[in-house]
Amino acid sequence: MKKIPPIVDEIIEADYAKNNVGRAFAVDKVKKNFRVYVEKGGLYTVIGRIMVIFRPSEDGVVEFHTVNGGSGEDLTKGLAEFLRKLKNKVKFAVTYYDNPKINDMAKYSPVPAIVDQVDEGQDRTYKMTFDLRG
């Protein structure tokens, strides 16, 4: 099994405390689910105090989710680095979320970003698409 660095638990715990308290699942369940995800070949990267969980598809799109163990600035910088690494390697990167404050991140993106309100249920109110074609 791939060794998961200790900072991953720290990031998950910090993100849970900021963004998920009161939900129907405990932080230990989140950590367990993440380990199962990794055991099954799930991809992720840690950039500073954020973790990006991602899944490439055959159509040149990467769907990702960020787990923020730091500040808003950490999230903005980490996401920008992740997107720069993907640029010209895939067509688009897409993420879904509920918090409308995240929409503001589009203006800090190093690549063109479009925000759509999709209303597809919990954790999928908004969709942000990043154009990575160059």
In the 3-class helix/strand/coil scheme, how is 34-57 assigned residue by residue?
HHHHHHCCCEEEEECCEEEEEEEC
Q: How many domains does the chain have?
A: 1
pLDDT for 32 beyond 70: yes
Q: How far apart are CA 16 and CA 118, in angstroms?
A: 24
Exposure letters 39-51 (e unless 16+ CB within 10 A, then b): eeeeebebbebbb
What CATH number corresponds to the domain at position 73?
3.40.630.30
Residue 1 in any domain: the answer is: no
Give the chain's mean pLDDT. 94
Q: pLDDT tens, 96-120? A: 999 999 999 999 999 999 999 999 9
Q: pLDDT tens, 58-71? A: 999 999 999 999 99
Q: What is the pLDDT of residue 40?
A: 96
Question: Which contiguous run of DSSP H or E holds residue 118?
Answer: none
Q: What is the pLDDT of residue 134?
A: 78
Residue 103 in any domain: the answer is: yes
pLDDT for 1 beyond 70: no
